[in-house]
Copies of this chain bind each other. A is one copy, B any other.
Amino acid sequence: MSYLFHTEEDRAEMLGSIGAESVQQLLDAQVPASVQLKRPLKLPAATDEINLTRELTQSAATNASTSSHVCFLGGGAYDHFIPAVVDEIASRGEYYTSYTPYQAEVSQGNLQVMFEYETLITQLTGLGVSNASLYDGGSAATEAVLMSLAIKRDRSKVITSDVVHPHYRETLAAYLHNVDVELVVVPSDDDGLSTPMIDAIDEQTACVLIQHPNYVGRLESVASIAAAAKEAGALTIESFDPISLGRLKRPGDLGVDIAVAEGQCLGNPLAYGGPYLGIMACREDLVRRLPGRIAGQTTDRRGKRCWVLTLQTREQHIRRDKATSNICSNQTLLALRSSVYLSLLGPHGLRETADQCIAKLSYAKECFEACERFEVLHPGAAVKEFVVRDLSADVGGLMDHASQSGVLAGINLDPLVGDSTSSLPDRYQHCFLVAVTEQRTRSEIQSLVRTLESAPALASPPT
């Protein structure tokens, strides 16, 4: 039956050795009859590989995907190209069917990969130390805030901005709900920038959390904000876009203390939101408060260089309720994928990828700007995302229209506008967020704009 091994003969022999009549007898001896389930589980019937493969292949084919549609969706998850090498490596059983490297002697592969990943992340961010991964960009941003609060024990204010990723802020709010911390979301200025945040920083501030480029694609004045935070004795957390660092300055070079990112863009499939990769790096002196596993270098009994999990006293399995975080399973396989991705790209490939995004985004912006119907909200520099306003249609309907023509045109920002801690400001009403990666072609961009332009307009535009 499916993946089971024991033949009837095996079962009999095994029960004999145990000295039991049946497995039921073993269970009855342990599980009170009163709590045993007396009926079969009500689940769909067992299905063989042929039928399940057929059924789910057909089901998969009903979903729009980046294979069936041209994707301009972003907002923290991007349709960047995944080189074939990444899939080939990550599909090796020795990687994906192993556990956390608790026995270093038979886990040197995973441990070296983790050590290399950590090094790559420090190279990428310009910061001194990286952990071996967290769950995703959103929880990583939150863990960075918790880490800051632990470092700045006497401070209880966290400052962020309304152009930081709505999901990240919503996560942060959920985590902070039961603890005695004030979360201040500072409104961005008309240019979609978080600079006003500077004025909110005070002596009570443990940390500021900014995103660069921010959710609406704008480049923040990270260095100024970090300088102001430092001045006030607060820590600066930057949520960065890894691809953008092919061209933009690194967090470590901007005065940032803790850098976090969603690592999906580094060779990981979109997979409707996960598993993704939470990246986290920080100043070297903060390492003992860093959450998550860390691999480090040491030597074996024969003096040979090797790798181990280290600084484990930060972790839950040693320190229980005193740990820096509760994280146990992390995203090692995704960290592996990202290491392979970064190794393939190298410095020049990363720069070229960023530059291709910038060039194609610029072209897309121009195409929208050339169109009467649309307004590009924030002109100026951007790496892979920008906001377009269309007053002549319901944005949801517009996006539906496009997806029926095979284009995933953008993220409808209307549902994200509001006045909760996680909302976007009103300025983004009637807007959508367009992401352009290096994969998009000139003709795809042209057809995006053409498709949207041809969508029916509302009888009376909204006010």
Closest 9 pairs between A and B when the two form their complex, measured CB to CB = A50-B81, A50-B439, A49-B83, A50-B438, A91-B91, A49-B84, A49-B81, A57-B67, A92-B92
Q: How far is the CA of A455 from the CA of B36 in the complex (A)?
A: 59
Nearest CB of B to A56, in Å:
12
Q: Give complex CA distance A92, B53 in Å.
A: 22
**A21 within 8 Å of B by Cβ?**
no
> Copy number of this protein in the oligomer?
2
Across-interface contacts of A10 in B (CB, < 8 A): none
User: CB-CB < 8 A to A83: which residues of B?
Assistant: 49
What 0/1 readout, one digit per residue, does chain A (243-265) give for beta carbons within 8 Å of chain B?
00000000000000000000000
Complex Cα spacing A54 to B83, Å = 12
Query: How many A residues face the partner with a CB closer than 8 A?
Result: 16
Q: Is A88 an interface residue (CB 8 A)?
A: yes
* Bound CA–CA A57/B70 (angstroms): 13
Is A439 in contact with B54, judged by CB distance below 8 angstroms? yes
A356, chain B: closest CB distance, angstroms: 9
Q: How far is the CA of A438 from the CA of B344 in the complex (A)?
A: 43
Contact mask for chain A residues 411-452; partner B; CB cutoff 8 A; 1 contact, 0 none: 000000000000000000000000000110100000000000
Chain B residues near A49 (CB-CB < 8 A): 81, 83-84
A sample of 13 more A-B contacts (CB under 8 A), given A50-B438, A54-B441, is A49-B81, A49-B83, A49-B84, A50-B81, A50-B439, A53-B81, A53-B84, A54-B439, A57-B67, A88-B91, A88-B93, A91-B91, A92-B92
Shortest Cβ distance from residue A236 to the other chain B in the assembled complex, whole angstroms: 35
**Alpha-carbon distance A449/B63, docked complex (angstroms):** 29
Q: Which B residue's beta carbon lies closest to that of A353?
A: B50
Bound state CA distance, A57 and B81, in angstroms?
A: 13
Q: Which residues of B contact A93 (CB under 8 A)?
A: 88
Complexed CA–CA distance, A83 and B53 (Å): 9
Of the A-B pairs whose beta carbons lie under 8 Å apart in the complex, a sample of 15, sorted by A's number, is A49-B81, A49-B83, A49-B84, A50-B81, A50-B438, A50-B439, A53-B81, A53-B84, A54-B439, A54-B441, A57-B67, A88-B91, A88-B93, A91-B91, A92-B92
Smallest beta-carbon distance A15→chain B, Å = 24
How far apart are the CA atoms of A162 and B81 in the complex, in Å?
53
Q: How far is the CA of A425 from the CA of B394 in the complex (A)?
A: 67
Closest beta carbon of chain B to A438's beta carbon, Å = 7
Instruction: Please give, as numbers and ranges, the residues of chain B lying within 8 Å of A439 by CB-CB distance.
Output: 50, 54
Bound CA–CA A88/B93 (angstroms): 9
A57 to B53, CA, bound (A): 21
Chain B residue nearest in CB terms to A80: B50
Residues of chain B within 8 A (CB-CB) of A53 are 81, 84
Chain B residues within an 8 Å CB radius of A54: 439, 441
